[in-house]
Structure 1
Amino acid sequence: MPEASATAGTLEPWRDPQARPYVRIEGVTKRFGEFTAVDDVSLDIFRSELFALLGASGCGKTTLLRMLAGFERPTSGRILIDDQDVTAMPPYERPVNMMFQSYALFPHMSVEQNVAFGLKQDSVPKAELKARVGEALELVQLGPWARRKPHQLSGGQRQRVALARALVKRPKLLLLDEPLAALDKKLREKTQFELMNIQDEVGVTFVVVTHDQEEAMTLSTRMAVMDRGRVMQVGTPSEVYEFPSTRFTADFIGSINVFEGRVRSIDGDLVVVESPQFGGELEVASQARVAQGQTVWVAVRPEKISIAPRGEGGAKEGRRRNAADGVVQDIAYLGDTSVFRVDIGNGTLIEVTQTNLFRSIERPIDWDARVTLSWTANVGLILSE
């Protein structure tokens, strides 16, 4: 993985060995009877981060969020927020607020009454309450809708009311459980950027739970990919996508082609893998610690693969390293891109993504076309687990 730049520590505190985590989760395990929902998880989250917990349903991400909020207590391990051990602290004493997936707005209250509710419970003076509610509504651009009831608002507006209600109490840590799941695709994409801008403006540390890969990659400074209660990898979106550490992470984040094989030779950083699944040899520029004869998996993202009608571009017939001839079995036209599934024999399908650079209703490559696929050694990955 590329080294961090000399100035990265100021913008990326997780790369600075002197930086102190704002939230520290130390060896946290949560069991419900014999079922382990969260299994020995340790994470450091830094001040003003927008950190995502990403995983499929049942992976433990929401249970971990609920332990941060204080709704669940760890079976073992501890949780610190701003150097304070909050493991046994009840929710109402924690410097934390939570925005629920359902938004949980009071239907009989107006927008401003919903936002003010928590402050009233805390007996905040009337003048301060009014000022803080006004600031929160302006922050989420809902000032003109202050007197409306939730049923008079769109889904995106209700989401922003819930966010304003969470932020108005000025928590040190804001927890968001699938905050955009109820929105349609276009509104969700728009709201993601609004949420990022608001987080940047208020500077509160956000922890977001989501099962949506695109959402996690768009929103987060870093993410933790979870599976069966364990953290599989932590990193920036680009690190997790471009340098997955396991087959699970590689397969979970985006689309990827994976070929099993054995290491045939190692020459410096150049590793040659013999793969019956691919039907030939794969060449990978990698610093992975592997040994000759070891079973490994070579992973290649669909957008890294070139596709051309067979015989074009000087391609030769037959199987070469990182190249294969095949037949287009399926095509998915997505507007900006097209996805091809190419049968290269041996029951192996390779997925290729191609950007549609030109406007045309005719495809240069169509169903049943005979094509050649190829890629360079530096775009592949070697995974050993």
Structure 2
Amino acid sequence: MSTSNAKEHNRTKFLKEFPKLVDELKSILTDYGLPKEAITWYEKSLNYNTPGGKLNRGLSVVDSYAILKGYKSVDDLPEETYFKVALLGWCIELLQAYFLVADDMMDKSITRRGQPCWYRVPNVGEIAINDAFMLEGAIYILLKRHFKKETYYVDLLELFHEVTFQTELGQLLDLITAPEDHVDLSKFSLKKHSFIVIFKTAYYSFYLPVALAMYVAGIADEKDLKQAHDVLIPLGEYFQIQDDYLDCFGKAEDIGKIGTDIQDNKCSWVINTALTKCTPEERAILDSNYGVKNAESEKKCKTIFNNLGLDKLYHEYEESVAADLRKKIAAIDESRGFKSEVLTVFLNKIYKRSK
């Protein structure tokens, strides 16, 4: 099976588990005596907001567990074991859904994953706030029902709670640093950008899937968790910087969308790096045009970014960070059962991606 076919096969297998979780959650609401109309609403929210993305975070739990336990493919996992690690993967996807429903309201976004944002669906509106809470709540209902008897149950709870809070801290700094309707580049800095992307993206997208797999695999010594953390957090920061770069310099046909970071006043690596390199004259142009919602202003910003050679600077950064990560991965201590291959797989997915 080719790599692309295997990836699609694993995604299809993972997706088949989600309806089971929806049915389980519906049965819980039925047991509570909730009226049918409310159960139907919740079911629609779950299906609309959770399974529509790339599912990379959820799939990474399954893939990481398979590597840690020495399975050649996820198909080799016993059925019960696959269900448990897939369930944890879906818990991350529920966390992602919770964040996105809330984030879209905060950002007044129009579409998400090719369809209207949940709050813009007819009759939803501000009910989406409570729906977001219920997406998060499903995580802890499912964890209790399936992991309460496990020795690592409290570890799972604490990990989800801590990573959720870390992500919200990143979102807070992002919201107060770069509100879409008030541009103030004096608030921007590469230090703030680093905090935002590490807390808003790296913890829940990179560290969380691997740490969950490690707990289930019984490889959760503090030293091993730190080894994973010390590679996955800078890897997550690299991923987001790469995303920022592609939004500005990537081709729409490659990345599947038209970049909007400049017009949306995003606190991205591109603008923050530009602010450290530009002349006072260039800074004045950026102050007047960054975050302005028209193509002409966007073009003026891009001209400065090109003149500053940010494309070259990014590629130098990419080679430097990839080399540093490879060095860290090569030094991983595998004596307690942790496998550096888990980290190599993540790096290979990201290095030099174009979408």
Relative to the length of structure 1, the TM-score reads 0.25
**Which structure is higher in helix share?**
2
- Compare CA radii of gyration and give the structure with the larger one: 1
What is the TM-score with the length of structure 2 in the denominator? 0.27
